[in-house]
């Protein structure tokens, strides 16, 4: 499809959608325009978007590469002056101390020439339910006012929505869009990068039509009691996540190439307080693999 046709379609879809969602039509049209202009043909001549990311163990780096290729963007990997420790437990201790003191770690390359860019794809691993500390360092060193900021992340079990909400709070003058996220288990699985490529393409399709979180939930039916089949899919999808202490209360499902489930659950992660949360699980068609946890989010 030519750039101009793609752009026209994206914009006309935004106009159709904005008749229904008038409160946000201006902003969504601006986002769509900026994202469309970041597309292949234009970006090949003048790259106006950049993928800024931090990755400790490589999962977010894989995703950053997928996004860079999909949007023909520049890339900018944030590097710590003093890298995180090599073990999980000592990284937990270090990140906890940084969060308590709000002393964010020094970066080798905190400052980016943001004037060159309209759109910043901002990528991070989830740590303690939100973005990793080096992202705070980056945000303090750069002014993202007026930029389109597209968050993306990798995680063990979730944190996509919570991290993008925090980003909106810290960057009130940026246009922070919907966020994309994928678990490290899924992107690191065989064929995981291909999975991420397909999901990232769908994600950009949603962004260009101005979709909101609420609209993306629209395909699910009402919540209902679990059947034996739902319980089996839940058990299979959460078998590696016993530490979350999940108990499904009800479910809704959506037929795709396979089945998407949205379970409303009680959760007491690491034996902490019990809270209610949503758990998304995807069960492929028979013979195409096990049910997978997509993410846990409120
Ligand atoms: C210190 C630390 C804290 C983490 N906290 C969370 C968390 O709160 N929720 C979660 O789902 N995953 C958490 N994770 C898992 C990472 O988000 C996940 O492994 C991510 O894919 C790592 O990305 P990377 O390979 O790009 O570094 C944590 C990992 C570390 C090291």
Closest-CA residue, ligand 1 atom 9, reads 129
| Å from CA of 156 to ligand 1 middle | 6
Closest-CA residue, ligand 1 atom 2, reads 127
Atom of ligand 1 minimally distant from the CA of 54: 26
CATH code of the domain occupying 3-217: 3.40.50.360
Atom of ligand 1 minimally distant from the CA of 61: 26
The pLDDT tens digits of the residues spanning 266-286 come to 999 988 899 999 999 999 999
pLDDT at 244: 96
Q: Where in the chain is the domain with CATH 3.40.50.360?
A: 3-217
Token pair, residue 43, equals 């970006």
Residue with tokens 């919907």: 178
Atom of ligand 1 minimally distant from the CA of 129: 8
Burial class (CB in 10 A: 0-12, 13-18, 19+), 44: exposed
Closest-CA residue, ligand 1 atom 3, reads 127
252, β-bridge pairs: 262
pLDDT at 1: 37
The pLDDT tens digits of the residues spanning 186-238 come to 999 999 999 999 999 999 999 999 888 888 877 777 999 999 999 999 999 99
Q: Where in the chain is the domain with CATH 3.10.450?
A: 220-297
CATH code of the domain occupying 220-297: 3.10.450
**In contact, 295 and 181? CB cutoff 8 Å:** yes
């Amino acid at each position: 499809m030519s750039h101009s046709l793609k752009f026209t379609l994206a914009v006309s879809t935004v106009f159709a959608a904005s008749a229904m969602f008038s409160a946000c039509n201006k902003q969504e049209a601006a986002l769509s325009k900026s994202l469309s202009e970041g597309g292949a043909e234009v970006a090949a001549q003048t790259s106006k978007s950049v993928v800024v990311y931090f990755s400790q163990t490589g999962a977010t780096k894989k995703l950053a590469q997928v996004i860079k290729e999909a949007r023909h963007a520049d890339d900018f990997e944030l590097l710590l002056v003093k890298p995180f420790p090599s073990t999980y437990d000592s990284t937990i201790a270090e990140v906890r101390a940084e969060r308590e003191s709000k002393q964010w770690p020094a970066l080798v390359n905190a400052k980016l020439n943001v004037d060159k860019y309209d759109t910043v794809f901002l990528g991070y691993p989830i740590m303690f339910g939100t973005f990793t500390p080096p992202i705070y360092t980056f945000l303090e060193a750069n002014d993202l006012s007026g930029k389109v900021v597209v968050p993306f992340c990798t995680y063990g079990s979730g944190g996509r929505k919570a991290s993008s909400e925090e980003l909106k709070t810290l960057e009130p003058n940026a246009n922070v869009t919907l966020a994309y996220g994928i678990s490290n288990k899924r992107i690191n699985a065989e064929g995981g990068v291909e999975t991420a490529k397909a999901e990232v393409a769908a994600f950009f399709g949603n962004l260009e039509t101005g979709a909101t979180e609420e609209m993306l939930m629209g395909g699910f039916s009402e919540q209902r009691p679990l059947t034996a089949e739902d319980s089996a899919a839940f058990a299979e999808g959460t078998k590696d996540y016993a530490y979350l202490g999940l108990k499904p209360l009800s479910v809704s499902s959506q037929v795709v190439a396979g089945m998407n489930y949205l379970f409303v659950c009680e959760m007491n992660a690491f034996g902490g307080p019990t809270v209610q949360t949503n758990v998304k699980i995807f069960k492929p068609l028979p013979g195409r693999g096990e049910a997978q946890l997509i993410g846990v989010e409120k």
